[in-house]
Structure 1
Amino acid sequence: MIPFSKVQLLFFLSVPFIVTTVSVAQNDTEIYVFDLNNDGTNYSISDPFNVTYQNPGYDNQPHFLPDGSMYYVSTRDGQTDVAQVEFQEYSWSWLTWTAGGSEYSPTPIPNSQDFSYIRLDTSGQQLLYRHDHATQEPRVLVKGLKIGYHCWFDENTLAVFVLGEPSTLQICNITDGECLPKHSNIGRSLHRIPNTSLLSFISKEHEPWQIKSYEPVAGTTHKIINVVGSSEDMCWASDGTLFMGSDSVLYKFHAAFDKDWVKVADLSEFGLSGITRLNINPDGNQIAIVVNQSPTAEK
């Protein structure tokens, strides 16, 4: 990973990232991108790069795009907006700035330049939106459901985490607006399992919580493995390896090779802890890791 130069830092600080007010609803977090190394049998990480460079507030929910750039959300002026970093050019840009609302979970839509996101308005309304690349205008994708998280199967079908007591996993067809409940009491982490037609989700029906797969056509569900501790954030590498963190330790699991979770790295070596959300780039050589903001962390 190329280090952050003074020129890049000056450019970065020229963008209005630094804010004076921070929402009390979320922890102060940072996004680091590491080189992800695989020697064929083992994984390791190296060269941490602080994408959000100690911006005060909630910097979170990274999602790599097919071109290797990355969406995420960042705090400014007391709300969260969607931003994008282009690693090749080392440039940052804001994609949304919604008065009276905050955006979360920016996700590229398959076969499109558009992206989807959750918007929480100050009125309390929370809906899933589509951001049109051509017009830069948003439109509601699913009406009447308070969606917290989502994952696309294809350009017309998505899995959603619907808030409620309990929370539910629902499959939505955006062409006809139909959403069908499939599981209840789930966690927030929803992912397509690479090179399959399966979805992974976290079931909280029993303890310990379990990572499960779901096949939407047959409606079948199978256990993959228990979560690490009480973690509920995970991601997949293209080779079928699962990654999950607990405090400062990053773990991996591959059903064909591992009987249980295997330690990959301890981020305390970099002064980092509080691992939550994770995402791996399409080439499989970078991993974005969200951690607690720390003044002692490497920059």
Structure 2
Amino acid sequence: MIKFLITLSLLLVFQTQITQAQGGFDIWVMDTKGKGRKFNVLTETAKPLTNRPEYDNQPNFINEYQLVFSAADENGNHDIIVYNFTSEKFTNLSKTSDRSEFSPTLTDCGLYVSAIVVEPDGKQRLWLYPTNFGEPELLYDDIAPVGYYDWYDNKAAMFILGEPNKLSYARGKGDLLEIDNHIGRAVKRRPKTSQIGYLSMKSPKETGDGLALPIRTYDIANGKSEVLGFGLPGALDFIWLDSNYLLMASGNNIYRKKSNHSEWEFLGKVESSTHQNISRMAYSPELKKLVVVMQRN
């Protein structure tokens, strides 16, 4: 187990830096129905939203009709792309030849799409890209290298790469609250709460299918921590459907769990002869759409 954790930690530390060499990921979309315990995925409706050899990954909905994601061009440079479900058109929010943008999402204020930027000198920092296509600006000049993040109260909770990696919350300039260390890459705010959810690499559970990581939350408002059981064996990402239910994937299978329950419920399998292994997901209750990232065979 110790050897596995060291290997996993090294993979997490270097994952963002090596994404340019990975390629071969596409975004798929499918319909959903119901909410909460009645939520289900209509996997028979699944189809590719992108379909090309380059890297299309890290999707997030920014409103009821638009999705943002990181996409590589033919030269291996990554930009932020906006997809409009109404017009069915793709638009570049960024088009930079000297840097790459990853993990785009909407800020709390709704005026910016934030992204982790790999800058020309190799620094990985959090930048803001105005939704009106104005000039981007650096948010935290003194925090690097940042791998992943989410927002609470217009401040970022960030996965900061290091030995060990850390989960920190930027309360103010020079005021970082260290929440935990040895964490996984998923950092997701629990909807309508002050809790940051994440996967911990401490005390994993051994199963016949591999190691399952604990799902933890930290409440920024009151400082309380909570464990919400374990993720699926081998899975490194999850999303919140709402404040009570989580979604994870294993292979091409999608599962749901109530936060205070231990068991994951199978919801369906995405059948594909060209793609496999769902790695990331994003959900829009307004559109009733689930998008997933799958690797090309």
Alignment of 1:196 onto 2:193: yes
- Cα distance in 1, alignment partners of residues 19 and 193 from structure 2: 39
Question: SS at the partner of 1:268?
Answer: coil
* AA partner of residue 255 (structure 1): S
- Any conservation in 2 of the 1:23–1:79 contact (CA below 8 Å)? no
2:7 corresponding residue in structure 1: none
Return 61-70 or 80-89, whichever deviates more: 61-70
Give CA-to-partner distance per residue, 1:5-39, whole Å, 9 cap, x none: xxxxxxxxxxxxxxxxx975324100011111238
The equivalent of 2:224 in structure 1 is 220
- Counterpart of 2:58? 61
Q: How far apart, in 2, do the equivalents of 1:107 and 1:238 lie?
A: 17
Listed one character per residue, the Cα deviations across residues 95-129 of structure 1 (whole Å, up to 9, x for unaligned) are 11112211001111112321110111343211110
Query: 2:47 & 2:251 partners in 1: Cα distance?
Result: 19
3-state DSSP of counterpart to 1:189: strand
Gaps of 5+ in 2: 1-17, 206-212
String of CA shifts for 1:227-267, please: whole Å, max 9, x gaps.
101211111112622110111111110136x5401111112
Q: Where does residue 79 of structure 1 map in the other structure? A: 77
Letter of the 1:252 partner, please give it: R
Match of 1:297 in 2: none
174, 177, 180: which is aligned to 1:183? 180
Give the Cα separation in 2 of the matches to 1:185 and 1:142.
Answer: 22
The separation in 2 between residues aligned to 1:226 and 1:130, in whole angstroms, is 33
Residue 117 of structure 2 aligns to a residue whose secondary structure is strand
Q: 1:142 aligns with which of 130, 140, 143?
A: 140
Please tell me whether residue 45 in structure 1 is matched to residue 42 in structure 2: yes
| Residues in 2 aligned to 1:177 and 1:238: alpha-carbon distance in whole angstroms | 32
SS at match of 2:33: strand
Residue 137 of structure 1 and its aligned partner are, at CA, apart by 1.1
Matched length? 269
Specify whether residues 89 and 134 from structure 1 end up closer, same or farther in structure 2 by C-alpha distance, changes over 3 A only: closer
**Match of 2:27?**
31
Please give the per-residue CA displacement for 1:208-227, whole angstroms capped at 9, x wherever unaligned.
31111110122111110211
- Equivalent of residue 240 in structure 1, options 237, 244, 257: 244
TM-superposed CA distance for 1:158, in Å, is 1.6
Contact 1:168/1:183, CA 8 A, preserved across alignment: yes
Distance across 2 between alignment mates of 1:284 and 1:195: 19
Shift of 1:205: 1.3
The answer as to whether partners of 2:28 and 2:46 remain within 8 angstroms in 1 is yes
Paired residues of 2:32 and 2:39 also in contact (CA < 8 A): no
Is residue 23–residue 78 contact of structure 1 (8 Å, CA) maintained in 2? no
The corresponding residue for 1:277 is 280
C-alpha separation between the residues in 2 aligned to 1:179 and 1:109? 19
**Which letter maps to 1:212?**
R
- The separation in 2 between residues aligned to 1:194 and 1:24, in whole angstroms, is 31
Per the normalisation by structure 2, the TM-score is: 0.84
The unaligned stretches of length 5 or more in structure 1 are 1-21, 295-299
Give the drift of 1:66: 2.2
Preserved CA contact (<8 Å) 2:26 2:293: yes
CA distance in 2, matches of 1:265, 1:55: 25
Distance change >3 Å, CA 200–CA 93, structure 1 → 2: same
**Residues 275 and 113 (structure 1), Cα distance of their counterparts in 2 relative to 1, 3 Å cut:** same
TM-score, L = length of structure 1? 0.83
Give the structure 2 partner of residue 153 of structure 1: 152
Structure 2 counterpart of 1:17:
none
Counterpart residue type for residue 176 of structure 2: C
Instruction: Report the identity percentage.
Output: 25
Cα distance in 2 for residues equivalent to 1:160 and 1:272: 30
Secondary structure of the corresponding residue to residue 277 of structure 1:
strand
Q: Please, what is the CA RMSD of the aligned residues?
A: 2.1
Superposed counterparts of 1:83-122, under 5 Å = 83-122=81-120
1:9 corresponding residue in structure 2? none
* Structure 2 counterpart SS, 1:104: strand
Q: Secondary structure at the match of 2:234?
A: coil
